[in-house]
């Protein structure tokens, strides 16, 4: 289990970009424009690891609601 998990306060206030938990887990926040011209913010979880062949890989773990506690 990750040692330095992001707290729910850190997740709510996280700006755009990758936020690391110290154990390979990433909380990724992206911003994009919708068709209506509005700004939409999305958050997702990603796990980075090294495969047995030595390649760095990223495994998407799905979208994440920024209002829930991530340490569970």
Instruction: Kindly report, residue by residue over 3-17, the tens digit of the pLDDT.
Output: 556 666 777 777 888
Q: Where are the alpha helices (DSSP H) in the chain?
A: 8-12
Threshold 0.85, pTM exceeds: no
**Residue 52 — pLDDT band, cuts 50, 70, 90?**
very high
Cβ(8)–Cβ(70) under 8 Å? yes
Q: Which position has the higher pLDDT, 40 or 12?
A: 40
Note the pLDDT of residue 70: 45
Note the pLDDT of residue 53: 94
Cβ(34)–Cβ(40) under 8 Å? yes
Rounded CA-CA distance 6/35 in Å is: 32
Segment 16-42 shows an average pLDDT of 83
Euclidean distance between the first and the last CA atom of the chain, given in angstroms as a whole number: 10
């Amino acid at each position: 289990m990750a040692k330095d998990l992001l707290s729910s306060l850190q997740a709510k206030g996280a700006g755009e970009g990758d936020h690391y938990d110290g154990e390979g887990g990433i909380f990724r926040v992206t911003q994009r424009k919708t068709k209506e011209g509005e700004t939409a913010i999305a958050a997702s979880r990603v796990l980075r690891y090294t495969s047995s062949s030595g390649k760095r890989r990223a495994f998407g773990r799905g979208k994440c609601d920024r209002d829930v506690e991530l340490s569970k």
